[in-house]
Structure formats: C-alpha cells, structure tokens
Structure 1
Amino acid sequence: MSIEQTMDLLGQLRLTGMRAGLEHQLTQPVYAELPFEQRFGQLVDAEASQRDSQRLKRLLYNAKLKVQAEPEAIDYRPGRGLDRAVVADLLTCGWVERRQNVLITGQTGTGKTWLACALAMQAARKGMSVGYKRVGRLLEEMEIAHADGSLGKLRNQLAKMQLLVLDDFGLVPLNSRGRADLLEVLDDRVGSGATIVAGQMPVKEWHAFINDPALADAILDRLIHSSHKLALKGESMRKQKASG
C-alpha cells in the first residue's frame, strides 16, 4: 500500500489525528531515525490528543457556559475569600464524581459566575458532561415545557448532565410552580449528578427567599447535604478591572 493510499484510508477511518501525525513525520527527516514502535506510539498519541480536543469542544458547545473561564486564571488575591487548597481540591473534580454540590455566594461582581464556569470548564476537560442555566431563564423554559408537553424531555436532559450550573439563584422571585419545578430538577440529580448554585444572598437566607417552608426544607436538603460552600468577598471585580 502506498503512502497516499494509507493517508486516504486513515481519512476514511476518521483517524484524522493519526493522519496529521503521519504527515508531520513524513516532513521531518529526524523521524526516520526513530524505531517503528516509537513512531507508531507518537501517532497513537496524536490520535488520542485529537479526539480529546474534539470531545472537549463538543462538551463546551453543549454546555453553553456564560464565560469560557480558564481554571488557571482563577484570582486568589487576598480578600476574595478563596482558599487555594480548597479550590485545588475542587479542581480535581472528585466532588463531581461523588455527585456533591458547590454553593457559591457573594455580592454583585465578585466573580461567582466566572468561578462557577471555571469549575465547569475543568469538569469538561475531564470528559464530564456539563450544562449552564440561569435559574430565572430555566424556570421560564420549564413554564413553556409545561404548556407544550416537553417537560419530561427537558427534565431528562438536565438529569443526564454530570454537572449542572444554576446561576443567579435569588434574583427572580419564585412562584409556586417555580418552586416545585426547581425541587424536581434538584431531586432528579440526587445521587446522579453534581450541581453548582451561584447567587448573591448568603445560604442562610435561601430558606426565607424560597418562601414556602415545606418546599424550602426539601430544596435545601437536596442542595446543602454534602455541599462545598464558597463565599466570595471584596469589591466588584468589574470595578477593579475598569479602574485598572
């Protein structure tokens, strides 16, 4: 088989990473001096790297994160309330595998959404399915789903995500249906998925915000059990960037 036929066959088999690696080897004379096993190993590595890259791209496309936050860029400046050791542990994504939750609170501009998206980005890098929803928008989607009969499909989609980010919790008042829908979403995830909830008000105020003792108890029981809490502090990050 000629090299051209080999290239065509690799393309037909969708081994694009291996094909690109072989093309690179053919243009660099130094590879001719390497043992076959080493050259072949590098081709396999190229294919694996290509597939990992494509999978990450697909996971992030489906996640629809609000910001493409890089975990390496997390700001640990004094006064933010972030402990490097705690965040380092979260970036291992062991809590996602254990189907636990992360609750991020702090005033406007302290970086709650950015940090939530950075943790979600790390999970996607590890091959985990991720989704991002603002709570108000999600409840609107569920309201529409009630009307058109697609609620079951939407709930199944949310339940299948290994990590779901619920952002801006507490910005929009919850009506009776919203409270019930939120409980159903969280109940579906108990034992099956991890959740990040980000909001301005402290966790201790969430019960009063939900404004229904029975549903508040049920919602918080599903959120707070085995959760990691990050309370961000300091001035608005947006204000600091603008003044800088």
Structure 2
Amino acid sequence: MTLQITIEQLRRLKLSGMVAGLEHQLSQTAYLELSFEQRLGHLVDAETSSRDNQRLRRLLKNARLKVHAEPEAIDYRPTREINRALVGDLLTCQWIEQRQNLLVTGQTGTGKTWLACCFAVQAARKGITVGYRRVGRLLEDMEIAHADGSLPKLRQQLAKLQLLVLDDFGLVPLTARGRSDLLELLDDRVGTSSTLVAGQLPIKDWHGFINDPALADAILDRLIHSSIKLTLRGESMRKLKSADQPSTG
C-alpha cells in the first residue's frame, strides 16, 4: 500500500488530525530517529488534539456567548478588588461538576458579562455544554414559545445545558408570566446542572425586584441554595481601558 493511499484512507475515516500529523512527520527528518511506536503515538496525539479542538469550537458556537473571553486575559489589577483565589477555584469548574450555581454581581462596567463568558469558555474547554442568554431576551423568546407551542422544546434545550449563563438579571422588569417561566426554568435545572446569573442588582435586592413574595421565595431558593457569590467592585473597566489607551490628542 502506497503512502498516498494510506492518507486517502485516513481522510475517508475522517482522521484529519492523523493526516496532518503524518504530513508533519514527513516534512521533519527528526522523526526518522523515532521508533514506530513513538511515531504512532505522535499521530494518535495529533488526532486527539484535533478532535478536542473541533469539539471546543462546536461547544463555543452553540453557546452563543456575547464575548469570547479567555481566562488568561483576566485583569487582576488591585483597583478591581477581584478575589483571585476564588476565581482560580471557579476556573477548575468543580462547582459545575457539583451542580452549584454562581451569582456574579457588581455595578455597571465592572466586567460581569466578560467574566461570566470567561467562565463559560473555561467550561467549554473542559467539554461542558454551555449556553448564554440575556434574561430579558430569553423571557421574550419564552413568551413567543407559549404562543407557537414550542415552549416544551425550548425548556428541554435549556435543561440539557450543563451550564446556563443568565446575563443582565434585574435589568428588565419581570411580568407575571416571566416570573413563572423563570421559576420553571430554574426548577428544571436545580440539582442537575449549574446556572450562572450575572447582574448589577445586589443579591439582597433580588426579592424585591421579582415583586411577588411567593414566587420570589421559590425562585431565590432554587438560585441561592448551594450557590457561590462573586461581587465585582472597583472602577468601570470601560473607563480603565480608555485610560490605558495612548493619547492621540
């Protein structure tokens, strides 16, 4: 069997990583010094890496994150008062494995959305299914789903996500149906998956924002129970980034 036939068969088997690895080996004379087992091991590593990268791209595409935030780019400058140890623990994603929730709060511009997406990217790197939704837009979609009969399908899709990021909580007032839909959404996830909620309202004000004592108790019980809280302080990141830019005037 010729080498070209072998490469074509690998392509038919959709082993693109091994094809790339083999072509790389053929272009580097250093590989000639390795044993067959060593060269085969490199090919398997190349295929594994290729599949991992493909899965990550697929997970991130399906997540529809607002921003692509890399954990390596987290800004720990002292003025932000970020609990570095806590963030480090969160980046291990053990809280997701343990089905805990994460509540990220802070004033406008402190980087809540960016950091929430950062945790989502890290989760995707570990093969965890992720979804990002702004609360106001999600409740609008659920309202439409009520009308066209697709609500059960939408709820099932959201329930399957191992991590669901709910951004801008507290920004848009909740309707009576919105409160009920939010409760059902969280009830589907409690004890089976993790929810990350980000918003500028302090957690102590969430009960009043929901504006229905009974539903507020039920919603917050499902959110706050077994949750981790991360509060962002300091100056607006938009102002800090603007100050970091060189003056052009």
- Give the TM bin, normalised by the shorter chain: over 0.9
Instruction: Give the superposition deviation at 1:19.
Output: 0.6
**What per-residue deviation string (whole Å, max 9, x for no partner) do you get for residues 107-164 of structure 1?**
1000000000000000000000000000000000000000000000000000000000
User: How many Å separate the matches in 1 of 2:141 and 2:87?
Assistant: 32
Partner of 1:234: 234
Q: 1: CA distance between counterparts of 2:142 and 2:103?
A: 23
Q: Which residue of 1 aligns with 2:8?
A: 8
* 1:126 maps to amino acid: K
C-alpha separation in 2, matches of 1:146 and 1:222: 23
1:1-244 to structure 2, matched below 5 A, reads: 1-244=1-244
Q: Per-residue displacement from partner, 1:22-63 (whole Å, max 9, x unpaired)?
A: 011111111111001110000000000000000000000000
Rounded Cα–Cα distance in structure 2 between residues aligned with 1:72 and 1:240: 19
Supply the AA of the counterpart residue of 1:47: E
Q: Which amino acid aligns with 1:74?
A: I
- CA apart distance, 1:195: 0.6
The Cα of 1:80 is off from its aligned counterpart by: 2.0
Amino acid at match of 1:83: N
Number of aligned residue pairs:
244
Alpha-carbon contact 1:81-1:231 (below 8 Å) kept: no
- How does the TM-score come out when normalised to structure 2? 0.97
Which piece of structure 1 moves more, 233-242 or 7-16?
233-242
Please list every run of 5 or more consecutive structure 2 residues that lacks an aligned counterpart in the other structure. Answer: 245-249
Secondary structure of the residue that 2:80 maps to in structure 1?
coil
Of stretches 10-19 and 232-241 in structure 1, the one that deviates more from structure 2 is 232-241
The separation in 2 between residues aligned to 1:38 and 1:179, in whole angstroms, is 59
Please give the root-mean-square deviation of Cα atoms over the aligned residues, in Å: 0.7
Rounded to whole Å, the distance in 1 between the matches of 2:142 and 2:56 is: 28
The list of structure 1 runs, each at least 4 consecutive aligned residues, that deviate by more than 3 angstroms after superposition, is none
- In structure 1, C-alpha distance between the alignment counterparts of 2:234 and 2:20, rounded to whole Å: 48
Q: What SS is found at the alignment partner of 1:104?
A: strand
Instruction: Kindly provide the CA deviation profile for residues 66-112 of structure 1, in whole angstroms up to 9, marking residues without a partner as x.
Output: 00000111111113231111111100000001110100001100000
